[in-house]
């Protein structure tokens, strides 16, 4: 039966990275509200004939036009009183058949390169865009709490598995990778040790090509070795982590 389930929703916490800071994808409900936040995570009710992962992908596409990204579950949220702000209640009344239903939501997260995914709003999202995580303090419903939980998961995850390669251009320099790790872990890493470690892991391979047009010694370019990455993924990254 292809119908919305009034009691279960999904929300997506999509982190974006731009070599400067960590951002998160939010939609603007565009509502004329006196008080209460207008920003929310993209999320909506699930259909009864789709699974949770599918629902998250679909919702992300419907609200922000972003497809085909790997989403990982954060967990389930849903205190009975998560709809406690007037603005939230009003808004639900405008978009839901059963605005008063008890909803529990399953959150998903991912980390993408901002420049690869230009969000464009549709459905009930008035606008969609990237907001710096460090400047946010309030969101609709319990979305701020969900954001914090997702951030913590991301931090744990990146410590133990080399995600982050999808954040780089196809050809990249080891310095870019270095900077990426430093900004996510939020601490300096020794240049030589970092390079050694990444190279020993074997998931990057050097191209025969260099940077051009830079006002300093041009860097060798590297690409991500997908096969090596996958074979390591299966056997576990025994010795990763900075």
DSSP state of 199: H
List the single partner that 49 binds among a copy of itself, DNA, none, CB under 5 to 8 Å by kind. a copy of itself
For the CB of residue 101, give the shortest distance to a copy of itself in the complex, in Å: 8
Backbone angles phi, psi at 28, to 5 degrees: -105, 125
- CA 141 vs CA 78, 81, 121, 152: distances in Å: 10, 9, 20, 19
Q: 76 vs 214, which CB is nearer to DNA? A: 214
Place of tokens 């999904």: 10
For the CB of residue 11, give the shortest distance to a copy of itself in the complex, in Å: 12
For the CB of residue 188, give the shortest distance to DNA in the complex, in Å: 9
List the single partner that 48 binds among DNA, a copy of itself, none, CB under 5 to 8 Å by kind. a copy of itself
For the CB of residue 148, give the shortest distance to DNA in the complex, in Å: 24
Residues near DNA (CB under 7 A) are 173-175, 190-193, 195-197, 210, 212-220, 239, 241
List the single partner that 75 binds among a copy of itself, DNA, none, CB under 5 to 8 Å by kind. a copy of itself
Q: 14 vs 221, which CB is nearer to DNA? A: 221
Residues near a copy of itself (CB under 8 A) are 5-8, 46, 48-52, 73, 75-80, 102, 104, 106
Helix (H, G, I), strand (E, B) or coil at 208: strand
Place of tokens 């913590």: 152
With 0-12 / 13-18 / 19 or more C-beta atoms within 10 angstroms meaning exposed / middle / buried, residue 195 is middle
Q: 123 vs 211, which CB is nearer to DNA? A: 211
Place of tokens 């990982």: 72
- Alpha carbon distance 11, 146 (integer Å): 9
Q: 10 vs 114, which CB is nearer to a copy of itself? A: 10
- CA 211 vs CA 174, 177, 178, 224, 230: distances in Å: 12, 15, 16, 16, 28
Q: 155 vs 196, which CB is nearer to DNA? A: 196
For the CB of residue 13, give the shortest distance to DNA in the complex, in Å: 28
């Amino acid at each position: 039966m292809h119908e919305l389930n009034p009691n279960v929703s999904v929300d997506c916490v999509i982190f974006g990275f731009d070599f400067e800071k960590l951002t998160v994808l939010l939609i603007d409900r565009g509502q004329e509200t006196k008080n209460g936040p207008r920003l929310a995570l993209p999320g909506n009710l699930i259909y009864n004939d789709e699974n949770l992962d599918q629902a998250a992908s679909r919702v992300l596409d419907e609200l922000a036009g972003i497809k085909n990204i790997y989403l990982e579950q954060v967990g389930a949220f849903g205190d009975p009183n998560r709809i406690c702000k007037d603005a939230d209640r009003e808004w639900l009344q405008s978009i839901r058949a059963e605005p008063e239903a008890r909803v529990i939501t399953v959150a998903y997260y991912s980390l993408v390169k901002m420049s690869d995914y230009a969000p464009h709003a549709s459905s009930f999202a008035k606008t969609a865009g990237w907001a710096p995580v460090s400047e946010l303090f309030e969101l609709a419903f319990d979305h701020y709490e969900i954001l914090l939980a997702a951030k913590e998961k991301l931090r744990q995850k990146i410590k133990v598995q080399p995600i982050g390669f999808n954040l780089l251009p196809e050809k990249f320099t080891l310095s870019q990778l270095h900077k990426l790790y430093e900004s996510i872990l939020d601490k300096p890493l020794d240049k030589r040790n970092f390079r050694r470690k990444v190279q020993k892991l074997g998931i990057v391979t050097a191209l025969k090509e260099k940077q051009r047009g830079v006002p300093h010694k041009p860097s060798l370019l590297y690409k991500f070795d997908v096969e090596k990455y996958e074979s390591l993924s299966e056997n576990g990254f025994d010795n990763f982590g900075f």
